[in-house]
Amino acid sequence: MKQGKAVVVFSGGQDSTTCLFWAKERYEEVVAVTFDYGQRHRLEIDCAKEITKELGIAHHMLDMSLLNQLAPNALTRGNIPVQDGENGELPSTFVPGRNLLFLSFAGVLAKQIGAKHIVTGVCETDFSGYPDCRDIFIKSLNVTLNLSMDDTFVIETPLMWLNKAQTWELADQLGALEFVREKTLTCYNGIKADGCGECPACKLRKRGLDEYLNSKVES
């Protein structure tokens, strides 16, 4: 039986869209929140709007432009190349404080609308080394949110221990594999669906999809 209300932190990408379908299966009411932080590819926001409209999900857009001013990186600056981290350094796509701020503001929204669950697509299994995607960070922030507002939120991370192949499998189980494949934007170069095929995000996405589809054929 579905219960309660959930806020999904929603970018319009593969992971957050899978989480949106996951939440729809579990909660009576699902609300999506998207953050405009001056991201390099505005199509991401367009995708989020299109997907929530098609699925009939209430959609909140929040202005986080201050993050753009404070944290220049490859996702907010066209003159910073997309690069993997080397020698222990973080990738150029890491946005310091992004998940801290996004989840905090999602908590404020949840408080206002009476939602007790906050869903996010962060993952520690197949990730780029971002510290704010780790389970320990999420658990810490969950405690902090509850203390800060004297409430009992639960931050849900359905993808935390899934690799990309397993994330595609989850989308398939939810009846959303083709929807996620065709209508989401993961590409760092701003190309919808299967993307450019060259950036780190596209390579990870394709590798996971190929692995999952091959496993289906073998079984």
- Residue list, annotated binding site for ATP: 10-20
Cα(2)–Cα(137) distance, integer angstroms:
28
Tokens of 186: 């993961």
Strands (E), 24-110: 29-36, 58-63
Cα(157)–Cα(165) distance, integer angstroms:
17
Binding-site annotation, residues for Zn(2+): 187, 196, 199, 202
| Cβ-based burial of 36 (10 A; exposed 0-12, middle 13-18, buried ≥19) | middle
Yes or no: say if 128 and 94 are a contact pair by the CB < 8 Å rule.
yes
Look-up: residue for tokens 């999900």? 57
Tokens of 17: 């869209």
Binding-site annotation, residues: 10-20, 187, 196, 199, 202
Other C-beta atoms closer than 10 Å to the C-beta of 83 total: 12
| Cβ-based burial of 115 (10 A; exposed 0-12, middle 13-18, buried ≥19) | buried
